[in-house]
Amino acid sequence: MNSELRLALIASDSPKAQAAAEAMADEHDWVPLEQADVAVVLGGDGFMLTVLHMMLDADRVIPAYGINHGTVGFMMNKPRNARPIAQRVARASKLLVAPLEMTATTWSGEVAHFYAINEVSLLRETRQTAKLEISVNRKVRLAELACDGILLATPAGSTAYNLSANGPILPMGSGILALTPISPFRPRRWKGAIIKDTAEVEFRVLEPEKRPVAVVADQKEVRDIAHVRIVANREHSLTLLFDRHSSLDERIFAEQFQV
C-alpha cells in the first residue's frame, strides 16, 4: 500500500480516543473522510462498527485501520507502535469482510433495509417465546422453532454474540455463516446450523401479534417484524487493515484454543 495515501482521522467521543487523536494531530496531513483513501479509526470495536456502517450508508467504502482505545479491540490494532501512522497503514495486511444484507418487513407492511457486519439477531419482545419458521434458499428447514431468538453470524461476528449463545467460531475466509438459536425451547436439542455464505436465509414470525419479535442488524433495531430475509453482499465488502502477524483471522483462530 502506498505511503502517500490520503488518510482521515476519526475518533470516538471517549476521553482515551480524544486524547490519542490530539496526540496524533501533527503526525500526518489529515484529510476529511470524504476525500480519504483510508480511514484511521480510534476507539473500540463498537466505534469501528459505527464507522463501517457510516461508510456503507454513504455508499463510499474505503479501507479502515483501527487503533484500539476501547475495551476489547478485537477489530483494532494495538495503540503502541514505533512506526509513523503512514508507515503502519502502508505496511498493513488487508482482510475483506462481506456484510450481511437484511430486509425486514413489519406487521404493517413497512420495509427496513440494513447491513450487519457481525450478526443479524431476532429477539422476542415480551415474556412469550418467539415462534419462527426458518427457510434456507426458499426451502423450509425448520417449520417451528420456539425460542428466545436466533441469530445469523458472519465469521467476523462469530466470537461476539454468537459465541455467547454457544455458537461455533468461524474462521475468516471460510465462506460460511453460523445460524445459532438463543435459548431454544422446542425443538430443545436443535443446536443450530452452519451454512454457506451464498445462501439466502429467511425467517417468518409465527403468531406475530401474540409473540412479537424484533430484529437487530448490529446496532439497528426494527420491532414487530413479520418476515426477515438475509443474504451476504460481496459487492459491498469492507476492507480492514491490520499490522502484520496480528490480523483478525489470526485472533479468531486463536480464540478456538482459549480455555
Residues at the annotated binding site for NAD(+)? 45-46, 118-119, 148, 156, 159-164
Q: How far apart are CA 162 and CA 157, in angstroms?
A: 7
Q: Binding site membership: which residues?
A: 45-46, 118-119, 148, 156, 159-164
Classify 3 as helix, strand or coil: coil
User: Residues 205-240, buried b or exposed e (16+ Cβ, 10 A)?
Assistant: bbebeebbbbbbbbeeebebbbbbbbbbeeeeebbb
Cβ partners under 8 Å of residue 123, min gap 6? 130, 148, 149, 182, 213, 214, 215, 216
* Active-site option among 26, 29, 37, 45: 45
Among residues 98, 223, 235, which one has the least CA distance to residue 153? Answer: 98
- Sequential DSSP letters for 178-211: EEEEES--BSTT---EEEETT--EEEEEESTTTS
Pairing between β-strand 7-11 and β-strand 38-43 as defined by DSSP bridges: parallel
45 is catalytic: yes
List Cα–Cα distances, 46 to 19, 77, 139, 147, in angstroms. Answer: 18, 14, 35, 27
Give me the active site residues, please. 45
